[in-house]
Every structure is written in structure tokens, then in C-alpha cells.
């Protein structure tokens, strides 16, 4: 029971569980060192970020054994007391669904395309927001202007009215310049729907009911049934592994 209150001297049980779950979701594996007292009883569980470790298979005692080599030598690793090599038998190893029964694979590694497309849509939206007026309007002049003047006007206009913070400001033009608006093309209009669809796809990967994310029009008036579904589809598989 003491381990459930405080698995180690630096962590409470909720903090320990959060780190284990985060590693399982992000990397497909989570590891905690098992520390024992003089009687051989378990005295502490110390989580080790799986990104620090390099799994290896060695031959010893007449059979192959799984070990985890610590690939970093940082102050945090030294403070946690992580040895250079840990035997799998001396660790608590929590795996996501595995293809070989040895190491788990995260959902992100199995469905990287979904996450990549969602990040791409977000980067495109950020670029459009940073552009401000760019791509939404253009300048015309009464007469012909040379290349140097075009470059100078472009720089001045971008500096004064570009970026999200300058959106909506009123430009005051002179010298026969006129600003004309450009309507968004269908691809840009579809961007918002694409981002919302990306959020829905990532929710589906992790078993999270989309209404709980409060995106779009699907905001539940009563979240109770959705929370029950979240516990069943997202939390229960992780709890069973731990």
C-alpha cells in the first residue's frame, strides 16, 4: 500500500502513473526500475523515460536476455540513479500492443500519416495567419512601376500590414496605388474542415470521444455518457496494461 501512496521519494502515485502512461502513449513502452530493501522486498518504483534507453538482447546464463542500456548521461539520469545497464527482469516494463511480444509500438508509430497530415494542416493555417494580408489582397498602380519600386512597396506593405497582429488594419495608400481583395480559393476554405477532421482522427486513434474535445458544433450538454465511454475506450486498455 505504501507504494500506491508514494512509489518513490520524489513522486506521488498520480505523478508516477502520468509518466508511465505518457511513455506508453508516445513511445509504446514505459519502464520503471524496481528497487528493493535488504529483505528483497520492493521498496520503490523509479520511472525511467524510455527515450533515454536503448533495448538490447544479450546472451547470458545459457539464454538470450533483454536488457536496457542507458544512452544518456544527464544530471536528471544521475539524480534518478539510472545504471548503465538494466535487466528486464529487474524492471517494471509496460508495453502497448506489441508485434513481437518484446517491445510495444505506440499508436503514433502505427498511424503516423494521420498525425502528419494534421500537423501539416496546422502549419498551413499558421502560415496563413502569419501572412495577414498576403494572398488576400494585392496592389495595383496607375502606371508602370519598375522592379526596385515593386520590391520596396512589397517590403513596406508586408512590414506594416503583414502578420496576424496587423490583420484588420486600414492601409492608407498614395501615388495612384489601389488595393484589391482576393477571395479564398476552395482549398483554403476547406482548411478549417481539414483541421477539424484531423482532430477527430487523432481522437479516434486514442479512443477519445470527439465531443469531449469541444470542437465544432458537437458540444455535449451532458458529458456523463461521454465520460463513461472515455473511461471504457481510452482509459481501460491502459489501466489493464499497468
Which positions ≥6 away from 192 have C-beta within 8 Å?
A: 125
Q: What is the pLDDT of residue 133?
A: 47
Q: Which strand (E) or helix (H) includes residue 197?
A: helix 191-205
Q: What is the pLDDT of residue 19?
A: 93
Q: Which contacts qualify for 69-74: CB closer than 8 Å, 24 or more apart? A: none
Q: What is the pLDDT of residue 69?
A: 94
The grid cell for 237 is 486498455
> Domain boundaries in the chain?
13-95, 110-127+186-241, 135-181
Could you tell me if 214 and 226 are in contact, meaning their C-beta atoms sit under 8 angstroms apart?
Answer: no
Q: pTM higher than 0.75 for the full model?
A: no
Residue ranges in the chain whose pLDDT is less than 70? 1, 128-139, 143, 156-177, 179-189, 191-193, 215-219
Max alpha carbon distance in the chain (Å)? 92
Q: Three-state DSSP class for 207?
A: coil
For 6-24, b/e burial (b = at least 16 CB within 10 A) is: ebbeebeeeebbebbbebb
* 192-240 tens-digit pLDDT: 667 777 878 888 888 888 788 776 566 677 888 888 988 888 888 888 8
The pairing of beta strand 53-60 with beta strand 63-70: antiparallel
The grid cell for 68 is 536496457
For 84-106, b/e burial (b = at least 16 CB within 10 A) is: eebeeeebbbbbbeeeeeebbbb
Q: What is the pLDDT of residue 140?
A: 72
Amino acid at each position: 500500500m505504501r507504494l500506491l501512496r508514494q512509489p518513490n521519494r520524489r513522486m506521488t502515485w498520480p505523478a508516477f502513473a502520468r509518466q508511465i502512461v505518457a511513455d506508453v502513449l508516445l513511445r509504446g513502452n514505459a519502464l520503471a526500475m524496481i528497487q528493493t530493501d535488504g529483505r528483497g522486498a520492493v521498496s520503490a518504483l523509479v520511472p525511467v523515460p524510455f527515450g533515454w534507453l536503448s533495448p538490447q538482447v544479450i546472451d547470458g546464463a545459457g539464454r538470450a536476455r533483454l536488457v536496457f542500456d542507458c544512452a544518456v548521461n544527464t544530471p536528471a539520469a544521475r539524480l534518478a540513479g539510472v545504471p548503465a545497464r538494466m535487466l528486464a527482469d529487474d524492471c517494471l516494463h509496460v508495453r502497448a500492443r506489441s508485434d513481437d511480444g518484446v517491445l510495444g509500438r505506440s499508436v503514433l508509430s502505427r498511424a503516423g500519416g494521420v498525425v502528419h497530415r494534421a500537423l501539416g494542416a496546422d502549419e498551413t493555417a499558421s502560415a496563413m495567419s502569419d501572412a495577414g494580408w498576403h494572398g488576400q489582397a494585392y496592389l495595383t498602380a496607375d502606371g508602370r512601376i519598375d522592379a526596385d519600386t515593386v520590391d520596396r512597396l512589397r517590403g513596406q506593405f508586408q512590414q506594416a500590414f503583414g502578420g496576424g497582429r496587423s490583420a484588420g488594419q486600414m492601409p492608407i495608400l498614395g501615388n495612384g496605388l489601389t488595393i484589391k481583395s482576393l477571395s479564398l480559393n476552395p482549398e483554403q476554405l476547406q482548411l478549417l474542415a481539414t483541421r477539424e477532421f484531423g482532430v477527430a482522427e487523432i481522437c479516434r486513434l486514442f479512443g477519445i470521444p470527439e465531443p469531449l474535445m469541444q470542437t465544432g458544433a458537437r458540444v455535449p450538454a451532458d458529458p456523463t455518457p461521454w465520460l463513461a465511454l472515455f473511461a471504457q475506450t481510452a482509459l481501460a486498455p491502459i489501466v489493464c496494461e499497468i
